[in-house]
Amino acid sequence: MEVVAATRSGRVRGSAAGGVARFLGIPYAAPPVGPDRFRAPRPPEPWDGVRDATAHGSTAPRVPYPGDLGALLAERDVPGDDLLNLNVWTPDPGAAGLPVMVWIHGGAFTNGSGSEPAYDAAAFARDGVVAVTFNYRLGADGFALLDGAPADRGLLDQIAALEWVRDNIAAFGGDPGQVTVFGESAGAMSTVTLLSMPRTRGLFRRAVAQSGAGHTALPRADAEAVARVLAGRLGVPPTAEGLAGVPADRVLAEQARISAELRGGTPDPAVWGDRFTDPALLPFAPAVDGEVLARRPIDAVRAGEGADVDLLVGTNRDEFRLYLVPPGLTALLTEEHLAARTAAAGLPAGAPAAYLAAEGVAGPGEAVAAVATDAVFRIPAQRLMEARSRTGARVHGYEFAWESPLFEGRLGACHAVEIPFVFDALGPRTLAGPDAPQHLADEMHGAWVRFARTGDPGWEPWNPDRRPVMRFAAPVSAVVHDPGAATRRLWDGVAD
């Protein structure tokens, strides 16, 4: 059945079935092509008549995930210029005052879209929530720091999408004063970054950060170095005008080479100097330029920014296994590798033994994955919760500990495995594999909906004394206190 809603730019025609109306591919900004490629987003051109919104819109150009990740994290690719578009699911466009949830997709700021099958938000609409997903510019187009262009264009796109929600969501039954932003990985990092920015005040009331916190922002000098090398290898100056003359496919190819080079953790010092030795580095990510982003998000949160926004933060127990198990690296890593990894992180001499004895760890390969999980995900999340508590702002915490059966169970509770549970969209083509427990999806999805409605997911807020978090697991989920305390304490005093 067709259904029509009116936006400020014009009317859109969606489809309705099973008590859920879907509006797909609605532009929230003009196409970022031609002279607009490296500019801040501007409003879409209004249209006459009724625009079709029954099919997903264009997705941002990107290089597929490498190797085994590409098979596990398949992406929907829709060519076209009108990539700054969004999707809306609603139980009733004629309703009023429904809570709104806006999803920011992950993908290391170089991959993903709001149109991936895993992000079908029908279950949220089924439960009385208006849900929105959207695309934003990725990689160099979204985040390279270029002379003659605003920094962090991908972040500016995200803000433009939230402004569209503020201005238009009532036409779909939603309450613009009751918006929850939630995201995973780079989407969670984006969520915390938006939380930390004064210019987003009033755009959302609640936020959920799944496997991402407030530490991922490049210092200006590092972002300038990435842009300089990228442009130099493309034979142009590191300016908006210079890169505008380079076809997107050439930029993407060089961007992918730089990402692989820097994320390997051993960049050529003749090219990069002594920077970029962190193997988890995201070279095309938000930059602290002093204007769009004034300081690191975690530092702004520590100063009290975003304290009026309800916050839910969590990580998966075995995040980094997603990157080490499929290519078989966990079987190759030794205790020597573990000792080198803990030493490089600045951890004390007893760290290797502590990680080998940690819950769910079998052997040095999984211990290395646990160290990387802590460095990139768990410790930043802990410090985000600590920062909130010091300002007196409330925060809830969670840990996802259900283990995927894929790769004979070795994936564990890896990065992104919680997403189908949050969206209540289990299926054999997800990281959860076949026969995932529906009761766990009921619990987790229900907690997210409850949080969007009330700011309380259903368990006690986090505090620095007892550190309570909800552990989502099977056969039963329960509040636990300070999980993994022995390894967490190893990071006390380590610079962040």
Widest Cα–Cα separation across the chain:
69
What are the Cα distances from residue 453, in Å, to 34, 269, 466? Answer: 41, 51, 26
Q: How far apart are CA 85 and CA 134, in angstroms?
A: 6
Phi, psi of 2 (to 5 degrees): -85, 150
Contacts of 453 (CB under 8 A, 6+ apart): 99, 129, 178
How many residues comprise the chain?
496
Angle at 389 between CA 383 and CA 393, to 5 degrees: 125
Contacts of 122 (CB under 8 A, 6+ apart): 18, 20, 22, 89, 425
**Element at 387 (helix H, strand E):** helix 379-390
Q: How far apart are CA 71 and CA 326, in angstroms?
A: 10
| Residue 397 contacts residue 382 (beta carbons within 8 Å) | no
- Amino acid identity of residue 54, one-letter, is T
Q: How far apart are CA 178 and CA 138, in angstroms?
A: 28
Catalytic-labelled residue, pool 305, 415, 418, 443: 415
- Determine whether 185 is an active site residue: yes
* Cα-Cα end-to-end distance for the chain: 53
**String of DSSP letters for 388-432:** HHHTT--EEEEEE-PPB-GGGGTTBS-TTTTHHHHTT---TTSTT
- Determine whether 481 is an active site residue: no
Q: How far apart are CA 284 and CA 266, in angstroms?
A: 17
Strand 468-472 with 130-134, pairing: unpaired
Contacts of 328 (CB under 8 A, 6+ apart): none
Give CA torsion, residues 86, 44, 176, 123, to 10 deg. -10
Q: How far apart are CA 275 and CA 439, in angstroms?
A: 46
Catalytic-labelled residue, pool 184, 319, 366, 399: 319
Catalytic-labelled residue, pool 113, 185, 190, 196: 185
Peptide bond into 475 cis (omega under 30): yes
Which residues are catalytically annotated? 185, 319, 415
